[in-house]
Chain A
């Protein structure tokens, strides 16, 4: 009786460990298929450049833990932050020739005229929360994939 119980306990533990390690081994691949690829398609349609989409990756952060990560740096500026999160209202000033820029800011106005100013007030932007939304949207697909693959694994290995 005791031997049988011990045997059952050890077998259950073994099964749990095997399934856990199987999921851990393959989680990154599954997440890339189920989350990154469809998210990249959506973001491409939303107007992001291919260069920006290349920064979207899956990182392994621990045992059975991953993270959907995005990093898009252009000219030394972390653009991914500016796209993802809100930006506060702020002043934009011309750098000046002494600092390697120009003395005036210039842009095309609504009526088509060329506008010049020493400094302008930017009202700030609303964050698009692209990554957060993508993670929310595609998490259920990853979950389903994990369930299907685990069931297949258990069937094949007769666990």
Chain B
């Protein structure tokens, strides 16, 4: 209680005990950091000067632990082929790095192989009609060969010869249709679903499931001439942000309440409202 000249005052001071604890914690951490700094900077004591003896047998020192990397790399630095005075960084071996490299190589191989297979497949698809034409020619060739052979040395049955020829021709004629059927099947089974999915469910398309665009919310705010005039003359400010809590006092209060109730702050239906 104090009376300052012509006024009565009761001083009130806020002392945050939790924050004092925080301050103490910071100090303790600072001390810990100092200890760590000193430890890393202290030179190792040699056995001759009273330090612990150097352990040569690595097997005895080995510990069991998930972070024990000495299983693969026993030495932190290579002992051979390195200039001791060099300050260049030395990359030590690491099993995880090797595994990652292996996976990367496999990925590279697959990346190279898949276009090759695709190319072969497409070549085959294109060559099927030509193969069909070849089949027709083959059938005709068989027929003519048989006829010529019949002229030289008649076979047992002319009907058999003509039947074979007809079969060859029929098969040859069917080959293009078979090729087209294969191509059509491939298109229907593999390519058409992708095209449909891309056009319906793709980015920004009608059935894009990631967000639903409400077009009225996007343009309705700015279309009124009165509002445009207000914006142009500076009577109204437009906050263009997707962060709901930055749009005004009401939303700030709402977002705080939502945050306290552990609800979702980002109402997607309001995302496009200015």
Contact = CB atoms under 8 A, between A and B. Distances in A.
A156 B259 contact: yes
A78 B14 contact: no
Nearest to B29: A9
B12 interface: yes
Interface string B14-38: 1110010011011001101100110
B13 A64 contact: yes
A16 B23 contact: yes
Contacts of A81: 3, 8
Report the contact-size class of chain A (Cβ under 8 Å from the partner). 35 or more
Report the contact-size class of chain B (Cβ under 8 Å from the partner). 20 to 34
A80 B8 contact: yes
Given A15-B22, A20-B19, A9 B33 contact: yes
A71 interface: yes
Interface stretch (A43-51, A98-106, A112-120, A131-139): A131-139
Nearest to A152: B260
Nearest to B2: A67
Give the residue among B1, B7, B19, B260 with the most A Cβ atoms within 10 A: B7
A65 B12 contact: yes
Chain A residues touching B, majority SS: helix
Contacts of A73: 6
B259 A71 contact: no
Contact of B22 (A2, A12, A59, A139): A12
Give the residue among B10, B11, B26 with the most A Cβ atoms within 10 A: B10
Give the residue among B12, B23, B32, B259 with the most A Cβ atoms within 10 A: B12
A13 interface: yes
B78 to A, nearest CB: 25
B9 interface: yes
Given A6-B33, A19-B16, A59 B26 contact: no
Contact of A66 (B1, B12, B29): B12
A20 B15 CA distance: 10
A67 B14 contact: no
Contacts of B11: 61, 65-67
B258 to A, nearest CB: 10
Interface in B198-231: none
Given A12-B26, A71-B6, A131-B10, 13 more contacts: A2-B37, A2-B40, A5-B29, A9-B29, A15-B22, A19-B19, A59-B9, A64-B13, A66-B13, A67-B10, A146-B16, A152-B256, A156-B256
17 contacts: A9-B26, A12-B25, A12-B26, A15-B22, A16-B19, A23-B14, A64-B13, A65-B11, A66-B12, A67-B9, A67-B10, A71-B6, A80-B7, A84-B8, A131-B8, A150-B16, A156-B260
Interface of B: 1, 3, 6-16, 19, 22-23, 25-26, 29-30, 32-33, 36-37, 40, 256, 259-260
